[in-house]
């Protein structure tokens, strides 16, 4: 399991710059990021090397949520997300949100939000997928 932070922010020019500037000044390394617009508001989801420092740097505890997620290593090829989705669907596990990125020419990492991370990891590991904890995730993204 890894932890992803979700930061609620006004969707205005300069908001992302202000947030990422505060994190850079605090020495927080963003390992993965996904930004979504919700009209006047936006959600910035990120995996960072020091989540506790994000709370201190931004000083907005009500606007930040920690979301446990499944990180799974997959081959970087067509159909890899489908393979993971099929295993989880067969087990009755809904993928609520997902993002992913290539870590090499042959491998990618998916970040999945599901209701029960522990069960999802167990199901994926039994299907011979490699789920990542925080140490494995950090090693995978190099």
What is the per-residue pLDDT across 40-91, written as a single tens digit (0 to 9) for each? 999 999 999 999 899 889 886 668 999 999 999 999 999 999 999 999 999 9
Mean pLDDT within 2-14: 93
| Percentage above 90 pLDDT, the chain | 87
Residue 23 makes CB contacts below 8 A (sequence gap 6+) with 30, 48, 53, 54, 57, 58
Q: What is each CA distance from 142 to 20, 25, 63, 67, 75, in whole angstroms?
A: 20, 21, 29, 22, 17
pLDDT at residue number 142: 72
Per DSSP, what are the bridge partners of residue 109? 73, 101
Residue 13 pLDDT greater than 70, yes or no: yes
* CATH number 3.30.2130.10 given to 2-67: yes
Sequence spans of domains, the chain:
2-67, 68-141
Same fold? 2-67, 68-141:
no
**Helix or strand run (H / E) with residue 132:** strand 130-132
30, 44 Cβ separation under 8 angstroms: no
Q: Which two tokens stand for residue 91?
A: 């087990």
pLDDT at residue number 19: 93
Q: What pTM did the predictor assign? A: 0.89
The chain-wide mean pLDDT, for the chain, equals 94
Of the listed ranges 28-32, 62-66, 88-92, 100-104, the one predicted with least confidence: 62-66
Nearest to 45 by CA among 26, 22, 69: 69
Q: What topology is assigned to 68-141 in CATH?
A: Alpha-Beta Plaits (3.30.70)
């Amino acid at each position: 399991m890894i932890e992803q932070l979700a930061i609620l922010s006004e969707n205005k020019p300069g908001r992302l710059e202000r947030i990422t500037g505060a994190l850079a000044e605090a020495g927080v390394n963003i390992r993965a990021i996904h930004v979504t617009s919700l009209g006047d508001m936006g959600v910035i989801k990120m995996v960072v090397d020091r989540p506790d420092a994000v709370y201190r740097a931004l000083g907005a505890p009500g606007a930040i949520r920690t979301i446990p997620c499944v990180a799974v290593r997959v081959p970087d090829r067509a159909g890899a997300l489908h393979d993971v989705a099929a295993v989880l669907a067969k087990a009755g596990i809904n993928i609520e949100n997902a993002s992913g990125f290539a870590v090499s020419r042959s491998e990618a990492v998916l970040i999945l939000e599901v209701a029960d991370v522990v069960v999802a990891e167990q199901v994926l590991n039994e299907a011979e997928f490699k789920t990542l904890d925080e140490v494995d995730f950090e090693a995978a993204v190099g």
